[in-house]
Chains A and B, each alone.
Chain A
Amino acid sequence: MSPSKNDHKTMTLKLIVWRQNGPNEPGRFETYLAREITEHHSFLEMLDVVNEDLIKEGKEPIVYDHDCREGICGTCSQVINGLPHGGQTRTTVCQLHMRKFKDGDTIYIEPWRARAFPILKDLVVDRGALDKIIQAGGYTSVRTGAAVDGNSILISKEKADYAMDAAECIGCGACVAACPNGAAMLFTGAKVSQLAELPQGKVEAMERVNSMLGAMQECGFGNCTNHYECQASCPKDIDVKFISRLNREYLKALVF
């Protein structure tokens, strides 16, 4: 693969990064320089460069979660200048590019901060609580091999589209990090709404909403007080209307 040898103008940036050795250790901010960064670097590629420099200097590289680097796995999780994923609309950290910054900028980098997400190291947190919410009921109870023909249950295009809008959630947890209450209502609401909207999921809707909300509380997530920071920070722009739907489904389960 022969990369282009364009003479990009390069930038130097000052990074102020949260470093923490373990869940029970105190954390601190450290300052580093990112040098020779072009507008085509992704944010994580910029951190890769910084880490290589740190290693050469005999220092510990910054630990951060990342994997697919195309905005779909939901692994990357950094608060950049106070905003989860850095604040570009519909964009995860891994898809954020350095053309959004300019030479000489100072950038603050922190982990997701929420009661339900203990910090493991530096910018890496434990999001196992989100899995627990899904395990509580984020599924239909169909046995492998027991399904009827896919076209035997018709689903209107509107319903399929609505379910898909909710199902696009990548489970990154930015909504929790953005919420002043550390709530996982958008995450939970999206899954509850997707399944409640579809005939296949409707059957268990009441039981589902109860047990998922129960798990949410047990894991230490807060409640929604209508700040809507979650949608603003969501890289998939999951709509807060799914929180309203969550509340409606919960009411239905209470009443019936």
Chain B
Amino acid sequence: MILDGKSPTGPIENTWDKHRFDMKLVNPSNKRKYKVLVVGTGLAGASAAASLGELGYNVETFCYQDSPRRAHSIAAQGGINAAKNYPNDGDSIRRLFYDTVKGGDFRAREADVWRLAQVSNNIIDQCAAQGVPFARDYGGYLDTRSFGGAQVSRTFYARGLTGQQLLLGAYSALSRQIKLGTVKLYPRTEMLDLILVDGEAKGITIRDLVTGKIRTHVGDAVVLCTGGYINVYNLSTNARGCSATAIWKACKKGAYMANPCYTQIHPTCIPQAGEYQSKLTLMSESLRNDGRIWVPKKHDETRPANEIPEEDRDYYLERKYPSYGNLAPRDISSRAAKEQCDDGRGVGPGGRGVFLDFRDSIKRLGEDVIRERYSNLFEMYERITDEDGYKVPMRIYPAPHYAMGGLWVDYNCMSNLPGLFVLGEANFSVHGANRLGASALMQGLADGYFVIPYTIGDYLAQTTPGMLKEDAAECKASMDEVEGSVEKLLSMGGKRTPAEFMRELGTIMWEYAGMARSAESLGQAIEKIPVLREEFWEDLKVAGAGSELNQQLENAGRVADFLEFGEMLCRDALNRDESCGAHFRVEHQTGEGEAERDDENFSYSAAWEYKGNGNEPELHKEPLTFENIHYAVRSYK
């Protein structure tokens, strides 16, 4: 089937304004008759729930954490992009649009990206008004810094804690609505099923993580803001609780999963230290503004980093990409690091690491300036590695970080299932095959504050409120299904723990579908994953009971979903027989090892329809056309 993203037509500058006018509105006094279920309370979810509650809708919001303020958006460090052009350095909405489409390697829908760039400026204003303490210069004006993939300084920040501050801003707006009674909050709650009525999303089934009770919540629309699926690699920069469960349950009910193979591997993370490790820690990409990345030129280098003279160091990013240097985009920097380590010049234990060196900027600017800019990151580095980044170069290595893919949505952020909206990292919309730094925060808040408040009205205005009642057969069937699957997880009585299975799946995903993929490696993954899945359903051991706070059970459910989702990711990667952005197929590279796109055959978004376990999912294509930007080879040289 050919999918229609329903992009508005006409000059791109006017698309969003025109579309806003064309959409239907819900009468103010009717809004409270509609109930909206918002799942997830990160930037997208909290801003959506707050804004919808404020408009007068009756909102219920859910998170698995004990408080909405703990959603993983909180961990974003570097900043948020906006096209304010305050520094007068040539930025504009068009340039942010251009950089994002190009950065995504021409695999995103133009109109969506334009809208993102357009509302980016409103986000900064909104957050400043909430009391987000953005960095200011001595004149009292908002300060910006540079980020990878852009040649202008458009990244607004709050120390190295931008995600925290923006999330606390959205959380404060949400808290205000909770107090006003327009939003009802359900913390420590996990969504385990989507309920459809005649193909439209009208409810969810959840498990109360404290009591273990399964229950349904009914509404008139469901908004999934449940983040990305990058924990399918087990070790990633995401929080331990981040999972694909909500979007996967929706996929199993008929929502299409788009471009799951677009996975971002972040170049600046602290290398893994051992098998027991539970997560990889990211060091903000902003460090690349002042840190220089290098490896020794010699394969058998044994001198300590500081004793290696200039002529024996290979500043490979500066060498290969002179105009962007250490600020080359994430996918390119990550692959370059892997290349150096594969070549046997990696540093640190196991040889999987490269240096990130502040010696020169400390010499140029003084240690105080570096401390002022990044002290929290240096501190974090020291706590984890026991090394002082001011004195010896840091060691970094790429790690799974972000999912560009996600549930397919149209221009209204609505999935192919009417009434199911998907925002933020959970959808696939704007980042194409690679996301630029400081754009995730921008997207989450754009979707929540400035897109969904308009687009959900267009859908609700055409529906009758209260179609699904809690005692309906659809709810009962969903509850039975969820109770059955919880029961099944608990009854296996095998020997291996959920964590062990997740480690094994993560290893398969990283080895065969990680930074570099081939038809052969993906074929192997597609053979291995179902075998592991079968073992899971025979040999799983889950301690405890279902009627209590049971973290093993929660984890087992997430692992079960990853075991299904991971296979779909590999099938998508196998189907996409080209390299683009973060998706690197070794068969398709230039003589210099850069990604080689195939626009003739793959200029489409791949949306997969689940057809049952063990069956191949069905591919639907949404063709991508570029009218405002011409295809170009993405060069950062």
Residues of A that sit less than 8 Å from B by CB: 1-6, 8, 21-22, 38-42, 44-45, 48-49, 52, 54-56, 58-61, 63, 65-75, 88, 90-91, 95, 97, 99, 120-121, 124, 126-128, 130-131, 134-136, 138-151, 153-157, 160-161, 163-164, 167-168, 170-171, 194-195, 198, 200-201
Contacts and interface: CB of A to CB of B under 8 A. Distances in A.
Given A41-B276, A130-B67, A148 B159 contact: no
A93 B178 CA distance: 30
A17 B385 CA distance: 27
A163 B273 contact: no
Contacts of B122: 145, 147
B66 A65 contact: yes
Nearest to A172: B70
Given A73-B65, A148-B125, A3 B130 contact: no
23 contacts: A1-B272, A3-B275, A4-B273, A5-B350, A41-B276, A55-B541, A63-B549, A67-B241, A73-B65, A73-B75, A74-B67, A131-B187, A134-B171, A136-B179, A139-B130, A144-B126, A145-B126, A150-B84, A155-B140, A156-B136, A160-B140, A170-B164, A200-B130
B434 interface: no
Interface in B90-142: 122, 124-142
Given A95-B384, A171-B67, 12 more contacts: A3-B350, A4-B349, A38-B274, A48-B276, A55-B541, A70-B282, A95-B380, A139-B175, A144-B450, A145-B126, A153-B128, A200-B129
A56 B132 CA distance: 47
B65 A148 contact: no
B618 to A, nearest CB: 33
Contacts of B141: 151, 154
A165 to B, nearest CB: 9
A160 B133 contact: yes
B601 to A, nearest CB: 32
Contacts of A22: 548
B93 to A, nearest CB: 15
Contact of B544 (A60, A130, A167, A171): A60
A167 B241 contact: no
- Looking at A21, A147, A148, A170, the one whose CB has the most chain B CB atoms below 10 A away is A147
Contacts of B173: 139, 142, 144
B190 to A, nearest CB: 13
- Looking at B125, B173, B272, the one whose CB has the most chain A CB atoms below 10 A away is B125
B72 to A, nearest CB: 6
A154 B134 CA distance: 11
- Looking at A95, A145, A150, A195, the one whose CB has the most chain B CB atoms below 10 A away is A150
A3 B272 contact: yes
Contacts of A5: 350
B125 A124 contact: no
